Structure 1
Amino acid sequence: MTVKVYERILDLFEAEGIDTIFGIPDPNFVHLFHLADERGWNVVSPHHEESAGFMAEAVSRMTGKAAVCIGTLGPGMANMAGAMMCAKVENSPVIFLGGQRARITEQRVRRGRIQFVKQSGLLEPSVKYAASIEYADQTDEIIREGLRKALTGVPGPVYIEYPSHVIQEELDVAAPLPPHRYRLVGQTAGQDKIDEAAELIRQAKQPVLLVGHGVHTSRAGASVKELADLMACPVVQTSGGTSFIEGLEDRTFPYGFSPSAVEAVVQSDLCLAIGTELGEPVHYGRGRHWLANEAVRKWVLIEQDPTAIGVNRPIDVPLVGDLRAVVPQLSAALKNTPRAATPELARWIEQDATRLAELAESAPSGMSPVHPARLVVEATKDFPADGILVRDGGATTIFGWTYTQCKPHDVVWNQNFGHLGTGLPYAVGASVADGGERPVLLITGDSSFQFQIAELETAARLKLPLVTVVAVDYAWGLEVGVYKRTFGQGSRETAVHWSKETRLDKVAEGFGCYGEYVDTDAEIAPAIKRAFASGKPGVIHVAVDPKANSEEMPSYDEFRTWYAEGMQ
């Protein structure tokens, strides 16, 4: 068949099950955007290219597939660079397509060229693969190589650009190949290693499942649930893997922040780690809480990238492959020999439930402005498990780790890179991926929210069921705390405060959203309910106590151990 290059690009993405694209159309891309819309794709144009990248990343997390966004040449790709770096650190397979001027422009000896910079060399360090479609008949090989790189080993972003003269050229090509014909799909582990791991699990008296971010982004919850049932052991969440697997909510405990998790780790004689890099937030699996029992504890790691085995700590049995394929292999090996439940499991479940209830009870109430711990409790206490919870912010997220009362199956936040301002674009992208069916709750700080606040209009235009609860202290709350700890109470806090005339609920109304101002805790849950009932995206401006926000962050000492050089 004869097709234009832009048509072929869409064909190749459709073969991967991709049907959503984010970006701001410019002359290089209008034909591609127009055709994608005709084909029934979700075509979303945000207000900033960085938001487009974050939205695409959220789609990838919610679908387990690669996602696509587009940036115009020059400034568009400059705007997208932050999202590119974020996707690299968050291990998100996002395909960034960039426009470029015709190559003759690049090769001319000229000064003062308009909207032009050599992009590929600038962006290459932030991606797994960077390439340019210089000739029309390279389209298949470069797009496929981009997808291959993005989805093989540790997932990550790629950058592909094409000069403006290439996009309209014609190709005579066959139908696109299915993914399994040109890249490794569903890689399994060797049966010898599966048998070895299964035997270690059978022999273990106190195993734990350490579940990370990759379980959520690969959409492997159901198969991990089957394995967890056969192991009959506690599930310990990494700080990045905070989505709760359906059916495992009661025995899933956050590492470092739950006494049940700490006890389970300390007493464990085997750890099966799935979908995690074993990075700083879990002390590389060998420091802090892991020190006890280190001499006897066995480690089984399911990891797609063979070069990652043994990097952060020794591994007894590596299971190299796609966790979506390897976890069912391990379950099959254990099917006829399920373990009896760990004796302490029932007590840990009760202990953790008591912990959450006590936190809800003890979070300071009756204050105006609201205590940030109480904000989190009130905002999350009625949120359903099938909703999508999005986090953003510094101090606000730290309060959220401890005080969140709900256990949603989809939690999206920027854990590894710590990029503020991702929350609203993530929420929009997650809702687009979900088809706007489930409620989306974003809990964020005012500093983070204002990074990409223009995307409220995008949410309103798409009529998304999205409510944002903003903890407003009119400051960079985390940084205020740093000033206080560094220089003492009463010291000058430079460049971290702004006008208390700011009203984010009024800004939301200006974008066509529902807005409400709250300064007492009793009003928070009803305001959220009214926002969801309005049929519009909503913003609840919650005035929080600035002193508590900067000085009373819970588990802050635990959080600091992630960064303390030499302590791990």
Structure 2
Amino acid sequence: MTTVGEALISLLEAHGVDTVFGIPGVHTVELYRGLARSRIRHVTPRHEQGAGFMADGYARVTGKPGVAFVITGPGLTNTITAMGQARADSIPMLVISGVNASLTLGKGLGFLHELPDQRGMMEKVALFSHRVENASELPEVLSRAFALFVSGRPGPVHIEIPTDIMAKPADGLFPHPVEASTPQPDAATLAEAARLAGAASRPLILAGGGAKMAEAPLRKLAELLDAPVVETANARGLLHKHPLGVPASPSLKAVRVLMAEADLVIAAGTEFGPTDYDMYGDGGFVKPQNLIRIDIDGKQIGRHPATLGIRADCAATLEAMGELLASSRRNASDEGWGAARAEQARSASLEEIGPAMRGQVEVVEMIRDALPGSIIVGDSTQPIYAANLYYDHDRPSGWFNAATGFGALGFGPPAAIGAALAVPDAPVVCLSGDGGFQFTLPELGAALDAEAPVIFVVWNNRGYREIETSMRDVGVEPVGVSPAPPDFCRLAEAYGMGAERLEAIADLPAALKRARAAGKACLIEIGVE
């Protein structure tokens, strides 16, 4: 007899799942029944929040949904923060949990891990939440989840299975075909987009996280239009060192000037969120008057109406626009405007962020240059904030962090583990502050268990320095911003992990190369006065 738990594993395999992150418990034992015999790898974090962040990091570098298994009640509530981050950043994530036996739900009988309405709670965070009440539902709900990941704006999906359902017979279940595809642009809309772009003499492209898998068509279109490409934090790694690339935040005055000078703006996969476009809250961002928006989410387009809205996949739309423009003549009255203005915007942006932040950007550049083609996963810490303002990474999808959008502290270490397992040949560096690192410090053990060769770089300024500065700036006496850090190197060594503390930031490149050569997880601590 095949049980629901065993069928679940087979169905996940059929959907291409090769890794799940989770902590088993008495409420999910039956979900694990078929796992050992499957081709799916199980990775055990030290906390369910870590399971969600690992799934997030895995998804960001592969484009495939990250999958987490968690128990009912506290296991699932521990995962909500990671789901919130995935929802904010449009990351495909499938969270499968247990829930108490069907006949007990909603009765307040005091069962272990009981919640008044677990699914109702999850519906507020997930794209959808579904309870499997009989075995036959399982193929259909999984197909619905995987269809949603490709047909619209991705995010977290939650499926819960009652403990009494997990062990029921489930013979003869087969995966339903995923009856969905990525939305494609229609011919008439494309023709209008090409007409608008062809008529522009000073076009500009805004690239967001939705364009991070579309580097080739983005580059082609930018070159055809001679259009500067402004990259939000989630798009960094596109057009590295390209004359048209502007790896700077639209919150900077220099970038806003560039946008104001454009007579057409093409926004590809960006939601115009304040953490990208108005992070200082000065209200200085002005939506372009002549605007083409490309987004897979029609609701998102409606929130910031445009001259032309295209609900479609970014890569397909940029590719099609490039093909149309390549075969037509366009207004070339300002030929050469793009590269010259991109260079001016880069120079002005770097000057604008000031010497302190430029110094922190140099630290990130040290990591990039010491380990070319690396994936740098950040937490909310000073060098990450600085680099989100201005930094040119050298690998698409190789720069991401939780310092924009939802802003979950502690994201970096587990997300880096997920990324390292997804792309084992790439160097993966987690850059975290001492405060944020303590949120998910035990995941050092998970990195060793999973043989994930993450290089953990801890920027230790002995507290929440960014928050302390913010308090002082508005005349608030700092309180609660100086949590004492542990001896990170000794903690790493206690896990059996190599570690070293640097006397000077200039020693970082050599330390990174030593760590990479070791081929396993290790920790580097940088003391910051």
TM-score, normalised on structure 2? Answer: 0.89
Aligned match of 1:276: 270
- 1:290-342, Cα deviation, whole Å (9 max, x unpaired): 47xx5xx4211112222332322x31111112224333322232231376695
The letter of the residue matching 1:325 is A
Determine the C-alpha separation between the residues in 2 that align with 1:125 and 1:72: 19
2:457 is aligned, of 463, 469, 482, to: 469
Determine the C-alpha separation between the residues in 2 that align with 1:54 and 1:377: 25
Contact residue 70 and residue 96 of structure 1 kept, 8 A: yes
Aligned match of 1:450: 438
Aligned match of 2:191: 195
1:204 is aligned, of 181, 200, 203, to: 200
Aligned match of 1:241: 235
Which range is displaced more, 167-176 or 226-235?
167-176
1:230 is aligned, of 218, 224, 228, to: 224
Determine the C-alpha separation between the residues in 2 that align with 1:131 and 1:429: 25
Distance 1:353 1:487, change over 3 A: closer
Percent identity for Structure 1 against Structure 2: 27
Determine the C-alpha separation between the residues in 1 that align with 2:26 and 2:527: 44
Aligned pairs (5 A) from 1:278-293:
278-280=272-274, 281-283=276-278, 288=284, 290=286
Which range is displaced more, 316-325 or 448-457?
316-325
Aligned match of 2:505: 521
- 1:48-100, Cα deviation, whole Å (9 max, x unpaired): 10110111112222222222111112221121121122222222221111102
- 2:521 maps to 1:537: yes
Determine the C-alpha separation between the residues in 2 that align with 1:537 and 1:524: 16
Contact residue 381 and residue 406 of structure 1 kept, 8 A: no
Distance 1:128 1:337, change over 3 A: same
Aligned match of 1:497: 482
1:344 is aligned, of 314, 337, 356, to: 337
The letter of the residue matching 1:433 is A
Determine the C-alpha separation between the residues in 2 that align with 1:240 and 1:11: 34
Distance 1:526 1:34, change over 3 A: farther
Contact residue 241 and residue 392 of structure 2 kept, 8 A: no
- 1:515-551, Cα deviation, whole Å (9 max, x unpaired): 1111322222222222222222121111112xxxxxx
Determine the C-alpha separation between the residues in 1 that align with 2:88 and 2:385: 20
- 1:427-466, Cα deviation, whole Å (9 max, x unpaired): 11111111x1100112221111111111111112222232
Contact residue 514 and residue 534 of structure 1 kept, 8 A: no
Contact residue 420 and residue 426 of structure 2 kept, 8 A: yes
Contact residue 360 and residue 377 of structure 1 kept, 8 A: no
Aligned match of 1:421: 410
Aligned pairs (5 A) from 1:405-416:
406-409=393-396, 410-414=398-402, 415-416=404-405
Contact residue 353 and residue 389 of structure 2 kept, 8 A: no
Aligned pairs (5 A) from 1:344-493:
344-348=337-341, 350-351=343-344, 372=360, 375-384=363-372, 386-402=373-389, 404=391, 406-409=393-396, 410-414=398-402, 415-434=404-423, 436-487=424-475, 491=477, 493=478
Q: Secondary structure at the match of 2:303?
A: coil
* Post-superposition offset of 1:221: 2.5
Contact residue 469 and residue 539 of structure 1 kept, 8 A: yes
Q: Secondary structure at the match of 1:541?
A: strand
Aligned match of 1:116: 114
Aligned match of 2:86: 87
Q: Which consecutive unaligned segments of at least 5 residues does structure 1 have?
A: 366-370, 546-568
Determine the C-alpha separation between the residues in 2 that align with 1:499 and 1:258: 34
The letter of the residue matching 2:272 is L
Determine the C-alpha separation between the residues in 1 that align with 2:94 and 2:394: 31
Aligned pairs (5 A) from 1:49-64:
49-64=48-63
Distance 1:486 1:533, change over 3 A: same
TM-score, normalised on structure 1? Answer: 0.83
The letter of the residue matching 2:21 is F
Aligned match of 1:556: none
- 2:356 maps to 1:335: no
* Post-superposition offset of 1:349: 5.1
Q: Which consecutive unaligned segments of at least 5 residues does structure 2 have?
A: none
Contact residue 370 and residue 513 of structure 2 kept, 8 A: no
Distance 1:257 1:129, change over 3 A: closer
Determine the C-alpha separation between the residues in 2 that align with 1:73 and 1:237: 40
The alignment's C-alpha RMSD in Å is 3.0
* Post-superposition offset of 1:406: 4.4
Distance 1:421 1:110, change over 3 A: closer
Determine the C-alpha separation between the residues in 1 that align with 2:200 and 2:130: 48
Aligned match of 1:45: 44
Which range is displaced more, 521-530 or 124-133?
521-530
- 2:21 maps to 1:8: no
Contact residue 127 and residue 157 of structure 1 kept, 8 A: yes
Determine the C-alpha separation between the residues in 2 that align with 1:539 and 1:338: 55
Distance 1:480 1:57, change over 3 A: same
The letter of the residue matching 1:537 is A
Determine the C-alpha separation between the residues in 1 that align with 2:256 and 2:506: 33
Q: Secondary structure at the match of 2:166?
A: coil
